[in-house]
């Protein structure tokens, strides 16, 4: 519709980090491996659930529950070591500085003791109710079990994991897919791929499913800015007000925000033009309190900084 000179898509980045195995967390995760794990916002654990004698499993048998438990156990151990080390430093600080440090150190000790109890119960930290301030105070520690998770069970044709493994929980989403079959489908032309997907009752490509789940897990969605120069999709957290969305475009737009011209992607496709949207009353002016919705198209009115 806009014939833009430039089109920019929303993106979500996946880093393939190898090295997860039983025993890696003994003594705590270290070095570059830990740095890579700390930098991500969430994890996608790909768990083998297909049986293929030509591809031996390192542990000889196919057991998705066991393999997932190994990853969870290593992260739990890593976080427990981090908590214990932090507690030791806090107690040392309290002993050296005495009463003058109590107001700062004692709340930290209480929080770390609470986290330690959760980890010793073999529960991930993502299950703990934390205040916004507590979440901020924990950001520098790189706790692995605090991060949200998608568990992808890679099944063979006609194979499935036990239903109890596919139950979503707090900050954990699960999905089954058939990686080998979809790799074969990806080599087909559009007509052949559609026929193949219909035959195997695949309604959505696995990559699309995982990306959609990732947006859901990160609690983000997309809005658009449009025009002849550029059509761009921007990612913003679900529940963000219009000024915050404006800030995703440029900080000056957030600081000088006045109003947002808003219409929806669905309405634009249905009506066919901005002029038609205005005639149909689908073109709106929204203020600072407006909560941006998935698929909104925004034009920000703002006062330039002087």
Residue with tokens 């909560």: 291
Residue 28 has pLDDT above 70, yes or no: no
The answer to whether residues 107 and 211 belong to one domain is yes
User: Is residue 58 assigned to a domain?
Assistant: yes
Does residue 62 fall inside a structural domain? Answer: yes
Domain limits at 233? 220-302
Same domain membership, residue 236 and residue 195: no
- Residue 306's pLDDT is what? 66
Domain final residue pick, 185, 218, 251: 218
Same domain, 127 and 197: yes
- Say if residue 26's pLDDT is above 70: no
Q: Are residues 231 and 213 in the same domain?
A: no
Question: Residue 40 is encoded by which pair of tokens?
Answer: 């991500």
Whole-number Å distance between alpha carbons of 289 and 242? 7
Distance CA 237, CA 84 (A): 33
Torsion, Cα of 271, 275, 281, 284 (10° steps): 110
State the pLDDT confidence band at 108, using cuts at 50, 70 and 90: very high
Shared domain check, 60 and 169: yes
Each residue of 281-301: pLDDT tens digit?
A: 999 999 999 999 999 999 999
Helix pair angle (102-120, 64-97), 10° resolution: 160
pTM of the model: 0.83
Q: Which of 201, 218, 235 is the last residue of a domain?
A: 218
Query: In angstroms, what CA-CA distances link 9 with 184, 185, 222, 297?
Result: 26, 24, 10, 14
Distance CA 285, CA 299 (A): 10
Does residue 89 lie in a domain region? yes
Domain termination residue (choose one: 162, 190, 218): 218
Query: Do 202 and 229 lie in a common domain?
Result: no
Say what the pLDDT of residue 169 is: 87
* pLDDT for the residue 256: 95
Residue at 3 is within a domain: no
Report yes or no on 4 lying in a domain. Answer: no
What's the confidence (pLDDT) of residue 292? 98
Is residue 92 located within the same domain as residue 192?
yes
What's the pLDDT score for residue 27? 63
> Which pLDDT score is estimated for 290?
97
Q: In this predicted structure, which of 27-36, 43-52, 216-225 has the lowest mean pLDDT? A: 27-36
User: Which CATH number is 275's domain given?
Assistant: 3.10.20.30
Is 113 within the bounds of a domain? yes
Report d(CA 42, CA 22) in Å as an integer: 20
For the chain, the domain total comes to 2
**280/35: higher pLDDT:** 280
Q: If you average pLDDT over every residue of the chain, what do you get?
A: 91
pLDDT tens per residue, range 81-103: 999 999 999 999 888 887 778 88
Q: Are residues 161 and 20 in the same domain?
A: yes
Of the listed ranges 17-21, 42-46, 160-164, the one predicted with least confidence: 17-21
- ∠ CA(205), CA(211), CA(217), 5° rounding? 135
Reply yes or no on whether the pLDDT at 19 is more than 80. Answer: no
In tens, the pLDDT along 168-227 reads 888 899 999 998 888 888 888 988 888 888 888 888 888 889 999 999 999 999 999 999
For residues 74 and 182, membership in a common domain is answered with yes
Whether pLDDT at 34 is above 90? no
Q: Residues of the chain with pLDDT > 70: what percent?
A: 96
pLDDT per residue over 241-253, tens digit each?
Answer: 999 999 999 999 9
Give the whole-number percent of the chain exceeding pLDDT 90: 64
């Amino acid at each position: 519709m806009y014939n833009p000179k430039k089109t920019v898509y929303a993106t979500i980045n996946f880093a393939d980090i190898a090295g997860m195995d039983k025993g890696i967390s003994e003594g705590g995760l270290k070095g570059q491996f830990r740095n890579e794990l700390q930098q991500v916002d969430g994890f996608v654990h790909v768990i083998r659930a297909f049986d293929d004698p030509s591809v031996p499993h390192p542990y000889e048998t196919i057991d998705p529950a066991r393999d997932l438990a190994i990853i969870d156990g290593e992260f739990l151990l890593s976080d427990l070591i981090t908590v214990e080390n932090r507690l030791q430093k806090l107690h040392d600080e309290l002993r050296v500085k005495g009463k003058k440090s109590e107001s700062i150190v004692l709340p930290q000790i209480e929080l770390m003791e609470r986290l330690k109890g959760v980890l010793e119960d073999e529960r991930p930290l993502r299950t703990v109710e934390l205040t916004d301030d507590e979440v901020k105070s924990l950001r520098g520690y790189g706790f692995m079990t605090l991060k949200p998770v998608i568990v992808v069970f890679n099944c063979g044709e006609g194979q499935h994991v036990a239903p109890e493994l596919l139950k979503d929980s707090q900050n954990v989403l699960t999905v089954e897919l058939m990686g080998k079959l979809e790799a074969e489908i990806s080599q087909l032309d559009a007509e052949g791929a559609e026929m193949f997907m219909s035959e195997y009752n695949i309604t959505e490509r696995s990559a699309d499913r995982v990306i959609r789940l990732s947006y859901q897990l990160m609690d983000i969605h997309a809005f658009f800015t449009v025009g002849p120069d550029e059509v761009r999709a921007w990612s913003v957290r679900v529940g963000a007000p219009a000024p915050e969305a404006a800030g995703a475009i440029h900080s000056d737009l957030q600081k000088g925000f006045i109003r947002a011209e808003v219409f929806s992607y669905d309405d634009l496709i249905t009506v066919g033009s901005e002029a038609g949207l205005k005639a149909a009353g689908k073109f709106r002016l929204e203020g600072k309190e407006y909560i941006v919705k998935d698929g909104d198209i925004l034009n920000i009115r703002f006062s330039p900084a002087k």
